[in-house]
Structure 1
Amino acid sequence: MRVLVTRPQPQADEWVAMLQALGVDAVALPLLAIDEAPDPAALCRAREAVGRMALVMFVSPSAVERFFDGAEPALVAAFSAPDAPIAGGTGPGTHAALRRAGVPEAAIVTPSPEGGRFDSEALWQRLQSMAIGWRGRRVLIVRGEGGRDWLAETLRSAGAEVAFAEAYRRAAPRLDAPQQALLADALSRPTAHCWLLSSSEAVRQLPALAPSADWSRASALATHERIADTARSLGFGDVEQVDVTPEAVAARVRRSIQSRDPSSRP
């Protein structure tokens, strides 16, 4: 079974490498492209304001990469100051991206891996456990153009002043010839492939890429219940939610292979 990693680049290649190291036949088929920030001047102003924030929340690894890309060293240094803001994120990928950007571990807050849930609600639970008084505090949410507002509304209800920094734009995928061939193979042999889905917006690109496709025999692993619901609404016949780790994905793929072919069991 070949796993189609649909994250945007460069995350897709990173996940492919991690899954291959775990013995999974994985290949990148990004369903979203990440373009430049819609307003570079506004992004620069947001970077300059980091030191005045109590929390800077990054919605994805792409948000981290684009926010720090080309920024002055003072931006990273702001997360090491005595009154440094919290660098928040919703999952292990964002946590890893913050560390690669140079943000110290002590400044990072993400959902606990033991909780098994990686979203804004899980991050809010972690923040609540820190007993922070949010009234009058400033928060910056770094995201793509547009996006979900649940955490912003929750923080505002707690008295925080919330602003957004749009660090990138999500765009339709631009598949090259090998990727188009990969898509065609996945559509012609659905039971030989498994789609690894990490974004509802990415799932919604599929009807444009394959307008006449029958998804009833296709299987998918989704990293959140909302993504799983989006895949089911498109017509995916077999959708299962999985933790956001390569190890969890690899284990689920092995179980699927063994259920189809008992001779492959160790």
Structure 2
Amino acid sequence: MAAALQIAVLTRPAGRNVDVMHALVRRGWLVRECPALEIQSSAVISKCETPDPNNFDLVVFVSRAAVSGFQQQLGSDYVWPSFVRIGCMGPATAAAVERAWPAARAVLRPEAEQARDSEALWPLLQQLPIPLRKVLIVRGQDGRDWLAQKLANAGVEVVTHQAYERLYAGWSDDTVAQFREWAGLQAEVVWLLTSAHGISAIVQRIAALELLDWFRSGQFVLTHERLAQALASAVDTDPSALRMRVCPPEDSEIVLCFDQILPAGSVP
């Protein structure tokens, strides 16, 4: 039934769904915002607990949340040292860096057509004219250690620092009731899933509501190929049993991916 394909659930943190939501509503989707995670900056007891960028050759930010959290820890008046390079995985994080520290040098990041991940950033670091000796990776309370391990194997001293914390977001009674209603109607939902931590949070809540079979029957828009295995593992099924589409994480690309899910002729 065509109407079943027009229900979208957007699970990025609050404030990150607005533009996609408006675009989908204009296209006739019924959209519910349901953040999987709440992002909170990690407090520090004293300035000495915050690593000084001056002590590093490179600082890598894994996300926009890492940038904003580290900026709060350093203080709004902090001027980024011009000799300290910055690396990140995507244009949104690079833009956040430029807003936070205008004095920062050109930010190293993969080209637009590449994946937004550590694997795409790594070749850029290998091409730097001056060898890296000490690197700071700014992230949440945990994360992938692939880049840290690569750097360590190359003889680089690596420090990881927590600048923000991911918490499972609460769901309102209205949201729970809506999911139960859709499940009872066997309505098909298209879920936007953008991180492994977010997938874990969503699946845990859905399982607690005993709606996992309904969830599996939906469609999924993922913002990285690696999330396909994370989702399949979370719902204990083979990836081939799930209907998944992968797109870049930019809003316009996400909307385009949803456009491709709609029946032919549904988009003006």
Matches within 5 A, 1:25-174: 25=29, 26-37=31-42, 40-41=44-45, 44-45=47-48, 47=50, 49-69=52-72, 71-75=74-78, 77-79=79-81, 81=82, 83=83, 85-104=84-103, 106-115=105-114, 117-134=115-132, 137-174=133-170
**Cα separation, 2, equivalents of 1:190 and 1:7:** 24
Gaps of 5+ in 1: none
- The aligned counterpart of 1:229 is 229
Where 1:109 maps in the other structure, the secondary structure is: coil
Aligned to 2:202: 206
1:185 shift after superposition: 5.2
Letter in 2 for 1:133: P
- Residues 263 and 90 (structure 1 numbering): CA distance in 2 closer, same or farther, change over 3 Å? closer
Of 151-160 and 2-11, more deviation after overlay is shown by 2-11
What's the offset of the Cα at 1:34? 2.0
The change in CA–CA distance for 1:179 and 1:155 in structure 2 (over 3 A counts) is same
Return the letter of the residue paired with 1:121.
Answer: E
Alignment coverage as a number of residue pairs: 253
Match for 1:264: what amino acid?
S
1:4 pairs with 2:9 = yes
User: Where do residues 213-224 of structure 1 align in structure 2 (5 Å cutoff)?
Assistant: 213=211, 214=213, 215-224=215-224
The question of whether the paired residues in 2 share the 8 Å contact of 1:92 and 1:244 is answered with: no
1:255 deviation in Å?
1.5
Name the CA distance, whole Å, in 2 between partners of 1:100 and 1:21. 30
Check whether the contact 2:140–2:163 (CA below 8 A) recurs between aligned residues.
yes
Considering fraction of residues, name the structure with more helix: 1
Residue 240 in structure 1 maps to residue 245 in structure 2: yes
The Cα of 1:187 is off from its aligned counterpart by 4.0
Provide closer, same or farther for how the CA distance between residues 189 and 62 of structure 1 changes in structure 2, counting only shifts above 3 A. farther
Question: TM-score normalized by structure 2?
Answer: 0.81
CA contact (8 A) 1:46 1:165 kept: no
Check the 8 A contact 2:61/2:87 in 1, yes or no. yes
Q: Percent identity?
A: 27
User: Which residue of structure 2 aligns with residue 176 of structure 1?
Assistant: 172
Partners of 1:139 and 1:160 within 8 A in 2: yes
Distance 1:68 1:265, change over 3 A: closer
- Counterpart secondary structure, 2:113: helix
Distance 2:178 2:103 in 1: 39
Deviation at 1:8, TM superposition (A): 1.9
Report the CA distance between 1:90 and its aligned residue.
Answer: 1.2
Distance across 2 between alignment mates of 1:189 and 1:108: 49
The alignment partner of 1:240 has SS state of strand
Instruction: Return closer, same or farther for 1:220/1:184 CA change in 2, 3 Å cut-off.
Output: same
Q: Which runs of 5+ in 2 are unaligned?
A: 1-5
Bigger mean CA offset, 233-242 vs 222-231? 233-242
Question: 1:144 offset after TM fit, Å?
Answer: 0.8
TM (norm. structure 1) is 0.82
State how far apart, in whole Å, the 2-side matches of 1:254 and 1:151 are: 34
* Higher alpha-carbon deviation: 6-15 or 168-177: 6-15
Q: Distance in 2 between matches of 1:105 and 1:237?
A: 43
